[in-house]
Amino acid sequence: MSVDLHLHTTASDGSLSPGQVVELAANLGLNAIAISDHDTVEGIQEALAFAERLDTRVIPAVELSSRYNSRDIHILGFFIDYKSRVLDKALSSLRKARIERAEKIVVCLQGEGLDITFEEVLEVAGGASVGRPHIARALLKNNQVSRISEAFVKYLKRGSLCYIDKFVYSPSQAISLIHEVGGVAVFAHPGLAGLDEHIPEFVAMGLDGIEAYHIEHTPDVVKHYLQIAYDYGLVVTGGSDCHGPLSTHGLRLGTIYVPDKTLVQLEKKRRL
């Protein structure tokens, strides 16, 4: 049996509601899933409510954006106290920074002569933690690009025309925040971050685990991070990073095998 410890919902940039994600996971026979939206825990309550009448367990989680050496690093927090006021305050400032960045990106896009307004982006986001995918969807809706990936390549990805950094917590702050609210801190998709040489520094900051299994990691990459986990005594997690059927990668849920024992090990690191 498999688990999936990395999933997004409409609370951030996923296209399925938390309830839909849990129902789908249950239909696919997944034992447990983690709802890990970008800088928000808004989807967790609904997911837990759906899980009550299904055979799939829901683990409360979050995926915090961070930066190190001008590179993006995402840090997952598992078994967090998702009702914590400390967490709410911290996530609220991150989401505020996301909104401010979106507004600046829209101004840049308008400067490039594109038909898009900030209101349209907010409408696409529908109250979710605003991310670049919402801007990409608004551009697509207005026929300014022919696909989401085009929006990223031309305008939104780091190094492209309208890329703008958002305020984030440092990895050390993100790890401390996760610990403060009872969570287990895990380096998400390290194979995409290009920060391997800094892993010892993250370990010194208190990092608990590493996401060795990830849909974009080849078998060799998985092996590489399993070895790193072993070397540094890190717990291993894994997930599909599914953003729903409408995302550029399509529905990833159910397409990756993550052993149940990862959750057993993760649970041993629980602070709550």
Q: Which residues contribute to the site for ligand AMP (CB under 6 A)?
A: 13, 38, 65, 131-133, 148-149, 152, 157, 243, 248
Residue 63 and residue 69: Cα distance in Å, rounded?
19
**Least separation, in Å, of the C-beta of 114 and Zn ion?**
27
- For residues 114 and 177, which CB has a smaller minimum distance to Zn ion in the complex? 177
Give the nearest distance from C-beta 234 to Fe ion in angstroms. 18
For residue 154, the partner it binds in ligand AMP, Fe ion, Zn ion, none, with Cβ less than 5 to 8 A by kind, is none
Q: Which does 157 bind (CB under 5 to 8 A by kind): Fe ion, Zn ion, ligand AMP, none?
A: ligand AMP
Question: Min. distance of Cβ 113 from Fe ion in angstroms?
Answer: 27
**Shorter beta-carbon distance to Zn ion: residue 118 or 169:** 169
DSSP string, 239-263: E--B--TTSTT---TTSS--BHHHH
**Residue from 74, 132, 198, 214 in contact with Fe ion (CB under 5 A):** 74
46 is a contact residue toward Zn ion (CB under 5 A): no
Phi-psi region of 255 (alpha: psi -120 to 50; beta: other; left: phi over 0): alpha
C-alpha–C-alpha distance, residues 116 and 107, integer Å: 9
Among 145, 241, 256, 266, binds Zn ion (CB under 5 A): 241
DSSP 153: I
252: which 2 tokens? 């990833």
Pairing of strands 235-239, 209-214: parallel
Residue nearest to ligand AMP (CB): 131
Q: Which of 210, 105, 189 is nearest to 151 (CA)?
A: 105
CA-to-CA distance for 50 and 45, rounded, in angstroms?
A: 9
Scanning residues 159 to 198, which ones bind Fe ion (CB under 5 A)? 188
- Name which of ligand AMP, Zn ion, Fe ion, none residue 118 binds, using a CB cut-off of 5 to 8 Å depending on partner kind: none
DSSP 112: T
Applying CB under 5 A, which residues contact Fe ion?
Answer: 13, 74, 188
